[in-house]
Structure 1
């Protein structure tokens, strides 16, 4: 081999050594990077495993401690998992036996159950499914279920989960409540009908007595002395008072009864009707301070309400210039009405008594002590409150609220 060939070979060998050293340095550098990355991944994996373990533990705790029953099933209805509350509710132990939800469905609710399952598959969830179910021992329970689908990574449904609440006791209470309500409604209707019958039967003899008195006076015109005529007038006045009392009792018996009427009541029209019905002496003025609102309810009851308050204000006015003012203020959820007068007033010690039936504080022959009781019953019917502000000798303001 010539010297030149040797030189070429040596130069090639040198270049190869240089390239190998450069490659070793790059490999060493990449190895260090790979090692560092490996260590970092190891630490991250450890943290992730710890986190997953913690979350799994937390989820297991939540799963077992949900008060309501919780169940997971596949899309064929096979129960895969359920918590202790579900085992207790249905009477099954998954570690000892298999369970399919079809065996839980109450016979008469099968159609409803399959319609709800179709909704679950189509929409991914359903809410407030309420139906009967069988326990393992064939006892029947009422339940309310909220369910949703479980999806895999490709968003394909693979299972369903549901929270099941036992509402058997609630259903029983609702049934008892409905039974009591129906019995009470029947009783109230019977009492109301009885009140009308009694009212008619009581008024008939009163009218007969009144007619007899009138005939005696007519047949003996010019023959009766002044004292006898005065006695007859007292009888007529007493008969009139008794008839008014019977009418007021009948009105009181029906004032607090529920009504199916729930319509818009324009209280401006109500005020016009009340003003036409009331006898207002010339020295008394009734002022409606602003345009009244429209409320929901029975027009007759609202007329009764305002008529009793306003007639009381007129009846017990003792001033040369009597004033009755009707006003209201609007609040977010209710109206607050007021009927104010400058009449005789009511002492504070009587404020709690005046709404009780037959508690009249004035011996006025026209007062039966029922008017304010009727007012209170109507306000209670519409879930409002009533109270008064009064100063004896100066006047009274009645306040009451009506929900919007």
Structure 2
């Protein structure tokens, strides 16, 4: 025979549940609200915790369910009927950084040495040549390469007052606005900073710079997966990520990790596609010849495996290295082998971004009026 259920019986049972670390029961601490509802054997009520991130919420709720079944009546319907509320309101949503930027793009790689910065620079220039407004941020604090690749190692960005606040003016070249920590430190000295300091420097280059209206803001991420990556994805609303790799299996193994980092539910940044750099070697004097010195179509296979687009395949030619060292990137010559490859990559990239934006566009309710 079931016990007659009434609020005091429930409260007495809950007095057997102690909140960890205090020695006090949940009723004494005021966690249990006064709105105990009883409908036959079904009991429901709410519990009020101080903080939404209280680590004991789940365990305390479970203990409350067990206490009611143990000390009141085992036939009570209580599981799933305890609502959790928090006294501390969620922080207000921060204003969007870079409101004048349409698309923020992460260019990333699982490991160093695969030509990620080369792809970032030449993709940015190719987009600018097609008429898009482009910004490029060198987020590799410890190995900045943009100043060298644009032949602007002696450049020092100026400050410009806007609405009573001074903003950094990005260096502009080849139609691309760019900033790098390399513009602010001695080129021959290593940057020896802890992660928090590096993250703060990047935030300043993003939020305290006059980027203006941009169609694409490319961020050349540091290689690997680090706290800088988390800082950037938490600071900016990133449209999507482009992952660069060579076809070599060692590089592809790290590319998988890079893809996993972005698609992880805690990060949740869509992958726009893969770029296979150093896809094959082509001698300048034999442009029809292809030598697959790092393996053949490894990124193509990975793209199919991970169900993401293969945006482009960039061959190795001597001019890529020479262009990066001299500050005259190969994408400036649209008639060269690599220039055409990067122009094609830019087209595929734009199509992937537009497809992503169309899929995430808010749906509009269409009203149909019958005659």
TM-score normalized by the length of structure 1: 0.25
TM-score (norm 2): 0.27
Return the structure number with greater helix share: 1
Highest Rg: 1 or 2? 1
